[in-house]
Structure 1
Amino acid sequence: MADINHRVGIKSSPEAIYEALTTDAGLATWWTNDVSGAGDVGSIIEFRFNGGGPDFVVKELIPNKTVGWQHSGSVPDSWVGTEISFQIDTGQEQTFVRFTHSGWKEPSDFMAHCSTKWAVFLISLKDSLELGVGKPFPNDVQIDHS
């Protein structure tokens, strides 16, 4: 198994970060502007990119500390069985978000693409909270020409 890991420091409160990770309105500010279903453990969040996209079951919520999702469905097929977690840790002058997308069957070009895109979206999360404007899909930074 292979994992994607990133860590970003954000000058924002753990409460604001948690809200950006656990509500439809918050998620729409940084990942995709078409999201629905965020809620308590057991909720299914639908993220859409031009009509299609992944669904995740909310598996773990520890307010202002941890958000955990498990991929649900078959799109994209490389994500089947994977999990995403956000660990929120307070630092001296910032709050750190440790992001992990775990359980990939094997490293691949698509995994490398997703790793870069996750970094793009985590910067979007940072900008959303620090500057008031993120770059969720479809306004995200493009990393290839396809």
Structure 2
Amino acid sequence: MKVIKEGFTVYHNFPIKVLSNEVFKAITNPQDLVHWWPLKCTGIPKLGAEYNFFFGEPYNWYGEVVKYEEHSSFYIKMTKSDKDWSPTTFGFNLYEKDDGITWVHFFHTGWIEENDHFKHSSYCWALLLNGLKNYVEKGIIIPFEDRN
């Protein structure tokens, strides 16, 4: 018998060797997001705004900004996606250190099941967040088709 628990969460904490304003821009600005995550993206970085994350058909997903604190926190609640992602929220909390390093505390919470999609998404987030780090620190852009 399979036991289903609510509230599974992916966590990733890592440093980026730039100031928090640069990291914040890369996680909120659609023109930067497309360099490390979706194929196409639209949205305005402000509370209540809608973002569109397009990964190719049929992956045309939407989310709403549910937390926005400039240079420190940015959360998106998924509003239209596949059944596993729809009840979820992902977010970034940024902590700038005196030595010019920003610690990124990432989470993706609200997963209903710890299923294969949850596990695959956790792995993908690790790869994508490494892409974010390389993009912000070194200007490296991995082509979309090579991101997973």
- Same fold at TM > 0.5: yes
The one-letter code matched in structure 2 to 1:117 is C
Task: Indicate which of 21, 37, 44 corresponds to 1:38.
Answer: 44
Larger Rg: 2
Matched, 1:10 2:19: no
Task: Indicate which of 90, 102, 120 corresponds to 1:84.
Answer: 90
How far the C-alpha of 1:37 sits from its partner, in A, is: 1.8
How far the C-alpha of 1:136 sits from its partner, in A, is: 5.5
Q: Conserved in 1, the CA contact under 8 Å of 2:53 and 2:62? A: yes
Matched, 1:61 2:68: yes
Q: How does 1:75-114 map to 2 (within 5 A)?
A: 75-93=81-99, 94-114=101-121
Q: Conserved in 1, the CA contact under 8 Å of 2:74 and 2:91? A: yes
Q: Distance in 2 between matches of 1:119 and 1:134?
A: 16
How far the C-alpha of 1:92 sits from its partner, in A, is: 4.4
Q: Distance in 1 between matches of 2:75 and 2:45?
A: 12
For residues 56-97 of structure 1, what are the alpha-carbon distances to aligned partners after superposition, in whole Å with 9 as ceiling and x for unaligned? 101111011100110012x21101211111000113442111
| Range with bigger deviation, 29-38 or 16-25 | 29-38
| Range with bigger deviation, 84-93 or 108-117 | 84-93
* RMSD, aligned CA: 1.4
Q: Conserved in 2, the CA contact under 8 Å of 1:29 and 1:135? A: yes
Q: How many residues align structurally?
A: 140
Q: Conserved in 2, the CA contact under 8 Å of 1:57 and 1:70? A: yes
Q: Distance in 2 between matches of 1:89 and 1:39?
A: 19
For structure 1, list consecutive stretches of 5 or more residues without a partner in the other structure: none
For structure 2, list consecutive stretches of 5 or more residues without a partner in the other structure: 1-6
Matched, 1:70 2:77: yes
Q: Conserved in 2, the CA contact under 8 Å of 1:53 and 1:76? A: no
Identity of aligned residues (%): 25
Structure 1 residues 17 and 118: alpha-carbon distance in aligned structure 2, compared to 1, 3 A threshold? same
| Range with bigger deviation, 31-40 or 102-111 | 31-40
State the TM-score, normalized to the length of structure 1. 0.89
| Range with bigger deviation, 128-137 or 79-88 | 128-137
